[in-house]
Amino acid sequence: MIKISIVTAVLNGEKYIRDTVESVLNQKGDFELEYIIRDGCSTDDTLKILEEYSDRCTIVSKKDGSPQEAINAGMDMASGEIGAWLNADDLYLPGTLQKVVDTFQTKHKLQWCYGRCRIINENNIEVRKPVTLYKNLLGFIYSRNVLLCENFINQPATFWKMDLWRKVSELSGKFKAAWDYELWLEMSKHSRAIAIHEYFAEFRRHSESISENNFEKQFKEELNISKCYGNKIHYLIHKFNFWKIVTIYKLLK
């Protein structure tokens, strides 16, 4: 039976952590689940909530320097063949992990894949449907050239072989908001991804989220990452896309 390892990093996430944890633990199917939660010494009721699930997952509460550091530590603990991380305010949809396992078992050479992801608000209501549609169209077929021009991969809906993770080492601490984009480009050096045209996850935007408060910084970091990994044409197109998407997000905000 194939084993899948999911890591969640959390710090003072009492508002959403229960929904996140249950979206992982309620996954059913023909696989073994390893769920690792790295808490950064929360001072709210996060740990109290997590204790309710301590018999079904591994919980480590330890001070860390960043979300990347916590995720890296969780991945170091992981013993599964397939891995992913789910942020402490995001959700997996029912049946996601079985679909992921089926994909890897069917496509034996596959190293990583990404599915679709809805955007929800604080009340679990879907929002920004045009943004979701745009990303679905942009990433309908995986292309590294397109990825260098704009990040179309949804982090909560992305999974990989742990062997590939070990090849790219770990998440970099250089960037503060776009470390997932750098990871995709590192992975793309070794293997093509496959787009799965099914919804795997829900990404939550709320008043306290990094993506809500620091979206301009995030997209600026993605532009700088593109400059490091691509050529001048990639960078120029990404620069236009940076202006376009920041303008749209400002209007939405």
Residue 210: per-residue pLDDT:
58
36 has which bridge partners? 7, 58
Rounded Cα distance between 77 and 164, Å, is: 16
What amino acid occupies position 250?
A: K
- When mean pLDDT is compared over 19-28, 169-178, 243-252, the highest value belongs to 19-28
Q: What is the CATH number of the domain that holds 163?
A: 3.90.550.10
203 has which bridge partners? 119
Dihedral of CA 245/146/141/198: which sign?
Answer: negative
The CB density around residue 5, as the number of other CB atoms within 10 Å, is 23
Residue 110: per-residue pLDDT:
96
Say how many domains are in the chain: 1
- Long-range contact list for 51-55, CB < 8 A, 24+ apart? 53/21, 53/25
Whether pLDDT at 252 is above 80: no
Give the H/E segment covering residue 107.
Answer: none
Provide the percentage of residues in the chain whose pLDDT is more than 70.
97
User: Considering all CA atoms of the chain, what is the largest pairwise distance in Å, rounded to the nearest integer?
Assistant: 52
Q: What DSSP character marks residue 126?
A: E
What are the tens digits of pLDDT across the range 156-197?
999 999 999 999 988 988 888 899 999 999 999 999 999 999
HSE value, Cβ hemisphere, 13 Å, CA-based, for 120: 18
Closest CA to 201 of 4, 2, 14, 27: 27
What are the tens digits of pLDDT across the range 66-99?
999 999 999 999 999 999 999 999 999 999 999 9
Residue 214: per-residue pLDDT:
72
The residue segments making up the domain with residue 221 are 3-252
52: Cβ contacts below 8 Å, ≥ 6 apart: none
Whether pLDDT at 24 is above 60: yes
Query: Within its chain, how far is the Cα of 76 from the centroid?
Result: 17
Whether pLDDT at 213 is above 90: no
For the segment 6-33, the average pLDDT, to the nearest whole number, is 98
Whether pLDDT at 211 is above 60: no
Dihedral of CA 157/66/33/14: which sign?
Answer: negative
Whether pLDDT at 209 is above 80: no
- DSSP strands (E only) in the chain: 3-10, 32-39, 58-61, 82-85, 91-92, 112-120, 126-127, 158-161, 194-204
Provide the percentage of residues in the chain whose pLDDT is more than 90.
87
Query: Within its chain, how far is the Cα of 92 from the centroid?
Result: 11
What are the tens digits of pLDDT across the range 130-164?
999 999 999 999 999 999 999 999 999 999 999 99
